[in-house]
Structures are given as structure tokens and as C-alpha cells.
Chain A
Amino acid sequence: MKARVTVTLKNGVLDPQGKAIEGALKSLGIEGVASVRQGKVFDIELAGGDRAAAETALNAACEKLLANTVIENYRVEIA
């Protein structure tokens, strides 16, 4: 079983890296970019086939390590 965890900055948290990327895209002449926010993606291979157990484990992984919930949100998707 495969899962993807996406970690993004909460709204309102300053993202200087996203701003720099946004500026670089504009300087490349790429049209229509209003704003950029940078995040992280984790592709995780899961042993076993219990979907509910996997979801519980992945949520625990996010709370304990993958996201800093002071400034970040996370989303878990199991394929």
C-alpha cells in the first residue's frame, strides 16, 4: 500500500521561499502566477493492508514528526 503525505504552511505564515520562487517564475516570464506557497511531499510505502491502521499510523507520524503543527497543516492520502 502506498501513501502520500502533503505538508503545507498554514495560511498567514510568512513563506519567504515561496515568495522567492514566485519572483523567479515571474522573472522567467511565466504568465498568470498570482502567488506561490512551498510545501513538502512524503511518499510512504506501507507494509500490510489494513487501511484504517495505516491512516492512524500516518496521522501519528504527522503529529509526532512530519509536520510542525504550530505553522504547518498536513494531508494524508492512501492510494
Chain B
Amino acid sequence: MRAAVIVFPGSNRERDIGRALKTASGVEPAYVWHTETELPRGTDLVVLPGGFSYGDYLRTGAIAARSPVMDAVRAHAARGGYALGVCNGFQIACEAGLLPGVLARNAGLKFICRFHHLRVERAGTAFTSEYQRHQAIKVCSAHGEGNYIADSDTLAALEGEGRVAFRYCDETGAVGGAANINGSMDDIAGIYSENLRVLGMMPHPENLIDPLVGGTDGLALFSSIAGAKAAA
């Protein structure tokens, strides 16, 4: 699998994503600076990593979403290419129109930085083939703006078309109440594009790939997408 990790001024999780991709697929990704106008030839997967692109100025992800490289990323997605946005990358994907909705300030106003759980809403996508439906996986969040908001038509479409990828849950997989860490509508932690090939999610699966630092529940996401491409 050929992956390209886009690097913006203020990105800071690109090496962690790279390590997760290398661990899962054996292949080091390309790192692509935001001023590039083309992706490396043969790119299968584009990753928008976490961080604080442009210092979160204006709105999180807003300025990065208008970077030169994003036209190439949109063209890649329009061709049916795979893309993954994590944390600030999810915010950028929404601002760039790759995914619907907005990530607003956490309902509790605090920056959230801790382990928590997600329920896998849909197994068998390119990103979740190695998970079970409704499996609770341990992940980590580190964000101040993760409160997912969309209008009622968009929410109905996401729910009706099975495009909610992950919901916040407790360690038993129960959704709702205090398990929703940031106030997101419908407990949404991650969503897919219509063709299920673009995934945006607030928590960091790349934090959970090594038993030394909390667990390995995130690794299956990267091995799923590596396997999806190998099979295609």
C-alpha cells in the first residue's frame, strides 16, 4: 500500500501515523508538504494527521483545508481513493468538504486528553475489516474541538446510510451519557464519506499500536486499510 501523509505547518502527529502505517503494512509512507500540488504517483491512501495546523487560527482546520495540496486530495477522493483524517485531520476534512459537518468546541470547554473507548458501528469497511460490529475499542483523544455538529438532514443521511463509523462508548460498549466525552451529536466520533472510502475520526488509533503505551486496539484499523489495498 502506498500511503501519503500530508504535513501542514503545525501538524505534529505525522510520524506517529507513519509508524502505525509502517507497522501494519511494512511500507514507510511518503510525507507530502502542504504546498505540493500533486500526490506521489500511485498513492492509495492519503492521511491527514493530527496537530494544530496554522495554530487553529480562524477555525480548526480552516486554513489547512484551503492549502494547495488539498485540491489533489479532493481529486484523489473523487477518484475513489482512500483517505483518513484523524483529529485535526478530521477537522481539515470537514472544512475541505470531504466530509459533512463541523467539529465545534467541546461542550465542556476543556481540552480532553485521555484514554476512552469507541464502539465500531460498522465492520467490513476498508478501515474496519479486522474489527467486529459493536466491538468496544480502546483509543485516546487529545482535542479541544471535537464536538461533532451537523444539520438534521445530514445527520439523518449519515445514520440512514450507515456512515457513522464510531461512537463514543464506555469500556463495555454502552453508548450515551458520560461516555460522550465532548457533546457530539448522536455520540459521533467518526464518519464515512458516501462511498465509505474517506474516514474522519477525532480519537487517535495511531496511539494504540504498542502494548508498551496503552494497548494495540488501534492497529487493526491500519492493518485493515493495508489489507484492503492489497486485495484491491
Contact = CB atoms under 8 A, between A and B. Distances in A.
Given A68-B95, A70-B102, A71-B149, A17 B62 contact: no
Given A65-B58, A68-B102, A71-B102, A13 B109 contact: no
A39 interface: no
B66 A16 contact: no
A14 interface: yes
B108 interface: yes
B101 A70 contact: yes
Interface in B4-63: 58-59, 62-63
Contacts of B109: 16-17, 20
Interface string A31-59: 00000000000000000000000000000
Interface in B64-110: 66, 95, 100-102, 104-109
A65 B108 contact: no
Contacts of A17: 105, 109
Interface of B: 58-59, 62-63, 66, 95, 100-102, 104-109, 147, 149-151, 183
Interface of A: 13-14, 16-17, 20, 64-66, 68, 70-71
11 contacts: A16-B105, A17-B105, A64-B66, A65-B63, A65-B66, A66-B58, A68-B95, A70-B100, A70-B101, A70-B151, A71-B104
